[in-house]
């Protein structure tokens, strides 16, 4: 008996020691088999019981939380070196607002390319980062009263924004692959890497519709066709979330068309009619939300028709939640809340702006400011009776629901941090990244089959241009940092080693000192500029072929960097003209983030390859494409205008809206403007040829809710294996409201060997036929529809028709 009492006393003392011995005090107290005692009360509450449904767990948790804890679940804490000063928890954290928890921590310990203040020892090796995230998570679980886990968020549109994660090309390049399977694999990879590193929420994909080619963020969009964007975005979202990680869509809504494409300090006032807004700019969001069920949406900082999106009950509640059935949580884009008062001036002060966005439906404020700057006015509004607890509970409940569905209340930690070193940036991931880059290449011109170059017949090659030996464009603020990268010159030099002589000359800088002013007031070349071009010309004269690598870099295109002109910036055009004058064949390689109006280059140069912003394998990918190891099969997902004076010029478009001019007539005639695109939507050449045949449509007559089946044959009629992107367009012949001339309603990237034929099958669903009628209701109207199958939006090879009968 005495022995038993001694044992019991010892047990009590040990328990007391554990309880009061710092970070590890809870190891034997809150962690139980099958559940965690987050609120440390010794009882398995409903919210701690994994067998309970999510709604019950959320309701129970809300009932146990106080005001301080609820309001903390409505703000983001930006990670290390942005707002958070500490890499790991400190004693001071007990005096910070997040002592009561936090909704999410963004970009913590990730390392951002070219931002030295964000560099940290905890970003690499990957296992060290996973352990660091666990340490931070453990603090919130063990050191806060309710122990609510954190949702760790991070950017991911160019690959995960983390040191040495697997890089991806810019989304405009991904969009140019038109390869849905490849995009799903990229999403899987992105989600797997995020989860292994401790991130539970990825800010991707971007579903903005890029209809103004001057806009700086065209490179971060998949393209300009709502259907194409929806299909690609759906696959990226499904891929990310297949790994148990949330996908947060950007940027909702009508963000991509600020007035005049003016970005930077402007970022506002889109001029879009309501029907166009729903059919173009909201279509990808509706489709992806309904079909892929993302757990996050980011609200944009622009207004629509005078109402800031982030303060709009219509956009955040009526559309997102009630019509689209979105069930995740909404974060604000940077400064979206602040702009309600500071830029849009629809609130008398910032505090009123906070009230408006919460009432509208915003769940979490996210910007580069302290969490207190949002939480404190939020608490004041509640105390003053200007925000009800019912509203707060609704907003917080939606955040908690996502955390439960992510499994954070069942396993808040990275289970095996050491595995991160095996799961992130593997050889297989590297191969996938390169394949996406290869498939993003778009061949714009190939006169007399100059490409692919025959390495055995090209003795001397000059690689020139300001981007020839540059790699800065292979990195992004929204992608991985510190991966080794290879320039185009180095890639060609490596490829041609022992087979051809490769020389290099820069020729000119990307821009001149007076750019962009020099675009409207030209100035003579400086002595240094003349010397640079002359040096390139001297080497060009000694070469058999010239590969000119020109375009834009990350300082000339991107967020806040909209352009006035779409020509080659700086002195690059003069360099190209001088190279052409040598009489040697010039192959133009474009590195750019938006369509460029390269009219002269298209007319006079024999070959043009569009490479967009490839990632770190740029040099290898471009070399393999130029010399034929890779047969380019990418297609343009944006229209190339001939001049900015044609904008808006894109696909889809209304009948007559992009038409020509009458040659004669009673009300005037004549040609006063340039007509047509330089390259149309869906355009792209190949080193082989394809034939389309035998289109079948069934049924030819159907009711409004029927599915239309169609099939056709595709043959490779050339001598090389290659990819063709088959495109299905649909035209509503007569409708109650004006519809688009045609709309993309299906596509598939198909690989064929020489002489091979495949049968392709497509299904048209009622949603593909629907329009917004006069009463703004989605309706499938009776009438005739024309099916057009082709290689681009203008290169139509097969046509057929069917009819929807009146009920």
The 3-state DSSP class for residue 317 equals: helix
- Which residues pair with residue 643 across a beta bridge? none
Query: What angle do the packed helices 226-241 and 180-197 form, to 10 degrees?
Result: 40
- Which residues pair with residue 729 across a beta bridge? 744, 788
Q: What angle do CA 660, 662, 668 make, to 5 degrees?
A: 130
pTM to 2 decimals? 0.95
- Which residues pair with residue 692 across a beta bridge? 714
Q: What confidence score (pLDDT) does residue 28 get?
A: 53
- Whether the per-residue pLDDT at 266 is higher than 90: the answer is no
State how beta strands 708-716 and 690-698 pair: antiparallel
pLDDT band at 13 (very low <50, low <70, confident <90, very high): very low
Is the CB of residue 35 less than 8 Å from the CB of residue 49?
Answer: yes
Q: What confidence score (pLDDT) does residue 184 get?
A: 98
Q: How many CA atoms lie within 13 A of 91 on its CB side?
A: 1
Return d(Cα 365, Cα 362) in angstroms, integer: 7
Structure tokens at 227: 């259907």
pLDDT band at 26 (very low <50, low <70, confident <90, very high): very low
Q: Which of 530-534, 655-659, 799-803 has the lowest mean pLDDT?
A: 655-659
Return d(Cα 475, Cα 439) in angstroms, integer: 19
Q: What confidence score (pLDDT) does residue 16 get?
A: 37
Structure tokens at 686: 């190949």
In the chain, the percentage of residues whose pLDDT exceeds 70 is 97
Return d(Cα 73, Cα 378) in angstroms, integer: 11
Return d(Cα 792, Cα 635) in angstroms, integer: 8
- Whether the per-residue pLDDT at 662 is higher than 90: the answer is no
Structure tokens at 573: 């055009």
Return d(Cα 614, Cα 486) in angstroms, integer: 11
Tell me the pLDDT of the chain averaged across its residues: 94
Q: What confidence score (pLDDT) does residue 14 get?
A: 35
Checking phi first, is residue 254 left (phi over 0); if not, alpha (psi -120 to 50) or beta? left
Return d(Cα 587, Cα 40) in angstroms, integer: 68
Q: What confidence score (pLDDT) does residue 263 get?
A: 85
Instruction: Name residues whose C-beta falls within 8 Å of residue 685's C-beta, 6 or more positions apart in sequence.
Output: 443, 444, 445, 446, 632
Is the CB of residue 675 less than 8 Å from the CB of residue 724?
Answer: no
**pLDDT tens string 580-627:** 999 999 999 999 999 999 999 999 999 999 999 999 999 999 999 999
pLDDT band at 672 (very low <50, low <70, confident <90, very high): confident
- Whether the per-residue pLDDT at 555 is higher than 80: the answer is yes
Q: What angle do CA 37, 43, 48 make, to 5 degrees?
A: 45
Q: What confidence score (pLDDT) does residue 100 get?
A: 98
pLDDT band at 6 (very low <50, low <70, confident <90, very high): very low
- Whether the per-residue pLDDT at 20 is higher than 60: the answer is no
């Amino acid at each position: 008996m005495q022995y038993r009492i001694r044992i019991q006393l010892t047990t009590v003392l040990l328990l007391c020691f554990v309880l009061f011995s710092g970070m590890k005090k809870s190891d034997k107290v809150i962690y139980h088999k099958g559940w965690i005692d987050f609120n440390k009360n010794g009882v398995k509450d409903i919210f701690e019981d994994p067998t309970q449904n999510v709604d019950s767990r959320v309701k129970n948790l809300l009932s146990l939380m106080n005001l301080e804890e609820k309001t903390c679940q409505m703000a983001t804490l930006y990670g290390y070196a942005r707002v958070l000063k500490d890499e790991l928890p400190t004693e001071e954290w007990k005096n910070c607002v997040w002592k009561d928890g936090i909704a999410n921590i963004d970009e913590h310990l990730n390392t951002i390319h070219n931002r030295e203040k964000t560099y940290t020892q905890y970003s690499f090796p990957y296992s060290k980062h996973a352990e660091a995230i666990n340490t931070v998570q453990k603090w919130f679980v063990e050191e806060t009263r309710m122990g609510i886990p954190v949702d760790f968020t991070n950017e991911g549109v160019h690959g995960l924004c983390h040191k040495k994660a697997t890089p991806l090309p810019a989304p405009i390049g991904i969009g140019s692959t038109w390869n849905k399977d490849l995009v799903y694999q990229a999403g899987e990879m992105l989600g797997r890497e995020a989860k292994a590193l401790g991130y539970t929420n990825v800010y991707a994909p971007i579903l903005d519709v890029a209809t103004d080619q001057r806009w700086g963020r065209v490179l971060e969009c998949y393209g300009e066709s709502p259907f194409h964007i929806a299909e690609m975005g759906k696959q990226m979202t499904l891929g990310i979330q297949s790994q148990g990680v949330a996908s947060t869509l950007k940027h909702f809504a009508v963000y991509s068309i600020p007035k005049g494409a003016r970005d930077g300090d402007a970022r506002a006032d889109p001029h879009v009619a309501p029907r166009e807004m729903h059919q173009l700019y909201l279509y990808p969001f509706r489709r992806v939300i309904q079909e892929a069920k993302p757990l996050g949406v980011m609200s944009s900082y622009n207004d629509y028709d005078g109402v800031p999106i982030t303060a709009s009950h219509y956009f955040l509640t009526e559309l997102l939640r009630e019509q689209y059935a979105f069930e995740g949580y909404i974060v604000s884009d940077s400064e979206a809340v602040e702009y309600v008062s500071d830029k849009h001036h629809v609130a008398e002060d910032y505090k009123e702006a906070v009230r408006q966005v919460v009432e509208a439906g915003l769940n979490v404020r996210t910007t580069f400011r302290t969490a207190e700057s949002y939480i404190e006015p939020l608490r004041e509004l509640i105390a003053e009776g200007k925000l009800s607890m019912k509203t707060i509970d609704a907003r917080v409940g939606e955040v908690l629901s996502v955390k439960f569905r992510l499994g954070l209340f069942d396993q808040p930690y990275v289970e095996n941090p050491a595995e991160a070193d095996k799961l992130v940036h593997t050889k297989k991931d590297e191969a996938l990244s390169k394949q996406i880059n290869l498939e993003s290449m778009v061949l714009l011109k190939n006169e007399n089959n100059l490409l692919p170059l025959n390495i055995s017949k090209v003795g001397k090659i000059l690689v020139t241009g300001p981007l020839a030996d540059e790699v800065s464009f292979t990195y992004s603020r929204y992608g991985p940092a510190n991966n080794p990268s290879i320039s185009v010159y180095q890639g060609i030099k490596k490829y041609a080693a022992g087979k051809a002589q490769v020389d290099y000359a820069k020729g000119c800088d990307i821009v001149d000192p007076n750019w962009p002013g020099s675009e409207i007031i030209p100035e003579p070349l400086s002595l240094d500029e003349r010397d640079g071009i002359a040096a390139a010309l001297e080497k060009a004269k000694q070469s058999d072929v010239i590969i000119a690598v020109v375009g834009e870099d990350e300082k000339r295109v991107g967020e806040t960097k909209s352009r006035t002109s779409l020509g080659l910036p700086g002195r690059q055009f003069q360099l190209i003209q001088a190279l052409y004058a040598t009489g040697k064949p010039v192959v133009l390689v474009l590195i750019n983030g938006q369509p460029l109006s390269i009219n002269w280059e298209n007319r006079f140069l024999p070959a043009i390859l569009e490479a967009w912003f490839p990632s770190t394998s740029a040099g290898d990918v471009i070399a393999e494409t130029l010399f034929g190891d890779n047969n380019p099969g990418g297609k343009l997902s944006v229209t190339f205008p001939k001049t900015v004076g044609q904008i808006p010029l894109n696909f889809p478009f209304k009948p007559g809206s992009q038409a020509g001019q009458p040659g004669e007539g009673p009300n005037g005639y004549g040609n006063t403007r340039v007509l047509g695109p330089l390259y149309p939507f869906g355009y792209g050449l190949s080193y082989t040829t394809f034939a389309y045949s035998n289109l079948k449509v069934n049924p030819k007559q159907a009711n409004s809710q029927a599915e239309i089946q169609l099939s056709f044959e595709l043959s490779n009629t050339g001598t090389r294996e290659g990819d063709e992107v088959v495109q299905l367009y649909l035209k509503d012949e007569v409708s109650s409201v004006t519809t688009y001339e045609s709309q993309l309603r299906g596509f598939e990237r198909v690989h064929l060997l020489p002489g091979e034929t495949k049968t392709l099958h497509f299904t048209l669903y009622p949603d593909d036929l629907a329009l917004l009628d006069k009463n703004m209701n989605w309706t499938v109207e009776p009438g005739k529809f024309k099916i057009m199958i082709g290689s681009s939006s203008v290169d139509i090879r097969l046509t057929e028709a069917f009819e929807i009968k009146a009920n």
